[in-house]
Amino acid sequence: MGLKLFNTLTRSVEEFVPRDPQGKKAGMYCCGPTIHNFAHIGNFRTFVFADLLRRYLEFKGYEVQHVMNITDVEDKIIAGVRGSGLALPEFTHRYETAFFEDFAALGCLSPHQTPHATEHIPQIIALTEKLVAQGFAYQTADGSVYFSIQAYRDRGRHYGQLLNLNFEAMRVGERVSADEYDKESVADFALWKARVPEDGSVYWPSPWGEGRPGWHIECSAMSMKLLGPSFDLHLGGEDLIFPHHEDEIAQSEGAGLQQPGERFVKYWLHVAHLLVEGNKMSKSLGNFFTLRDLLAKGFSGREIRYVLISAAYRSSFNFTLENLTGARTALARLDECLSKLRVLAAYKTSEADSRLLAEFSAAMDDDLNVSGAWGCIFNWVRETNKLLAANQVSALQAAAGLAAWQRIENVLGISERAKTEVPTEFLTLLEQRQAARKAKDYKRADAIRQELKAAGWVIEDTPQGPRLKRI
């Protein structure tokens, strides 16, 4: 069955068909963090979803190119730099390092590329020049460059593709210089912002004088450079639909780099906001959590990831500390079942349990219905536990369940190598020792036992055969 996704562009659920004529490659861009502070768990809901989608596309056999940009220059960053007294790179470096630590703690795979806006100033300038040349952008007296919505619409182009806009309320030529604004203030937006004293030392030379890029053009320039002028998937939190993504479409399609009939992006996916204890996260309400805050409370990255991927991405999700406690219980149930299966399978291998995989992928194909997928997994855990209790699971069946779980785990990304889990190299040694004993090569068997002991593992004999235990 094919994967179906809700496309904000068409406001409908569509079958995912990549642009690649071979149907193999899929290009995916997710708007990355603005590194002016520690990312909060709401931000991570979006990034973990992007990671989940990438992993699921890989599960389906696609060759994914996952790009996540790093916004390292925009209004909030300039304000932060000013307040800190640091130079831009020192200021952003700290938050970028913290971001990637948190990202890894949540089990996210590194995107294939993580471009930085400050490393793409030439591409941003070139794209702005193209928009000026096309007549869609104009320079103002201070040396800034704005995108003209009127000029764009006058040429029959559609501004307002991702949401409906009220152009009656718009006054022609009105401009907005801030990176963030709401849909009531739809206006010409800044592509290039002329240098002002508040920018301090953050500026670059350009054909329009010294200045810095607007936020929206950064993503157009970086995504098209790395994925081409047309690509498959563009993701972000729902707050980015307007103006950020609408502006990205206008800039990228306005520059006219796409082949005739091609769009900038085929599928736009947006993650609904995470609420905490029923409210929008805010420092004054005391419900604002960074990942670090939760780790300091003793929760693990794995538990937090489990909670973040427990609900469908298009519904807003209410995060509570009780959710995390629930995650601990659920994961312990799962781990216990898996470890019993491991003992039973005793290193046998098998084809994956096709029923479990089919149920899991049917749920995930439905616009990444993770709650349905978890439902299948816990049904399987319940049934397996029953069979285990009745001694009705053979080694081969255990191995088949584990093989299916391994594939599912590669998508969900919630594995955590428990301290008691044995590294494969030692399992191989254990097998070699068994083989040596069978061949009556006791000298070799003993040497392996010593080697394992030196590495901190003892061999324990169980009714299911020998096992390794940490000393």
What sign for the dihedral angle of Cα 443, 444, 449, 454?
positive
Q: Smallest distance from the beta carbon of 137 to Zn ion, in angstroms?
A: 19
Q: At 141, give phi and psi (nearest 5°).
A: -60, -30
Among 3, 73, 88, 240, the residue binding ligand AMP under the rule CB under 6 A is: 240
8-47 residues near Zn ion, rule: CB under 5 A? 31
> What count of other Cβ atoms lies within 10 Å of the Cβ of residue 306?
24
165 binds, among Zn ion, ligand AMP, none (CB under 5 to 8 A by kind): none
> How many residues make contact with Zn ion (CB under 5 A)?
2
Q: Check residue 271 for interaction with ligand AMP (CB under 6 A).
A: yes
Q: How far, in Å, are 8, 18, 121, 193, 211 from residue 370 at the CA level?
A: 19, 22, 39, 42, 45
Q: Are 65 and 26 in contact (CB under 8 A)?
A: yes
Which residue, 48 or 125, has its beta carbon nearer to ligand AMP? 48
CA pair distance 310, 315, nearest whole angstrom: 11
Asked if 94 interacts with ligand AMP (CB under 6 A), we say no
- Report strand pairing: 317-319 vs 63-68: unpaired
Give which of Zn ion, ligand AMP, none residue 429 binds (C-beta under 5 to 8 Å, depending on kind): none
Q: Which of 3, 5, 9, 42 binds ligand AMP (CB under 6 A)?
A: 42
How far apart are alpha carbons 249 and 264 in whole angstroms? 7
Residue choice 3, 9, 26, 31 for contact with ligand AMP (CB under 6 A): 31
The answer to whether 282 touches 30, Cβ cutoff 8 Å, is no
Interface with ligand AMP, residue 237, by CB under 6 A:
yes
Q: Select from 250, 274, 363, 414 the one that contacts ligand AMP (CB under 6 A).
A: 274
Q: Decide the pairing of beta strands 231-237 and 265-271.
A: parallel
Total residues binding ligand AMP (CB under 6 A): 16
Give the per-residue contact string, 66-85, with ligand AMP (x = CB under 6 A; - = no): -----x--------------
237 binds, among ligand AMP, Zn ion, none (CB under 5 to 8 A by kind): ligand AMP
Residue type present at position 158: H
Binding of ligand AMP by 236 (CB under 6 A): yes
Among 68, 70, 219, 368, binds Zn ion (CB under 5 A): 219
Asked if 351 and 397 count as a contact pair (C-beta separation under 8 A), the reply is no
Phi, psi of 159 (to 5 degrees): -100, 125
Determine the residue with CB nearest ligand AMP: 237
* Residue 77 makes contact with Zn ion by CB under 5 A: no
Nearer to Zn ion, 35 or 430 (CB): 35
User: Phi-psi category of 254—alpha, beta or left, where left has phi over 0 and alpha has psi -120 to 50?
Assistant: alpha
> Do residues 85 and 224 lie in contact, with contact meaning Cβ atoms separated by under 8 Å?
no
Helix (H, G, I), strand (E, B) or coil at 383: helix
Task: Check binding of 45 to ligand AMP (CB under 6 A).
Answer: yes
Task: For the segment 414-443, give every residue that binds ligand AMP (CB under 6 A).
Answer: none
Q: Is residue 34 a contact residue for ligand AMP (CB under 6 A)?
A: yes
Integer Cα distance of 253 and 264 in angstroms: 6
CA distance 50 to 270: 10
239 binds ligand AMP (CB under 6 A): yes
* Phi, psi at 56, each rounded to 5°: -70, -40
CB contact set of 37 (below 8 Å; sequence gap of 6+): 76, 80, 95
Minimal distance, residue 44 CB to ligand AMP, in Å: 8
CB 35, min distance to ligand AMP, A: 8
Least distance between ligand AMP and beta carbon 280 (Å)? 7
Part in contact with ligand AMP (CB under 6 A); list of ranges 27-35, 176-184, 319-327, 446-454: 27-35
Question: Of 152 and 319, which has the nearer Cβ to ligand AMP?
Answer: 319
Binding site for Zn ion (CB under 5 A): 31, 219
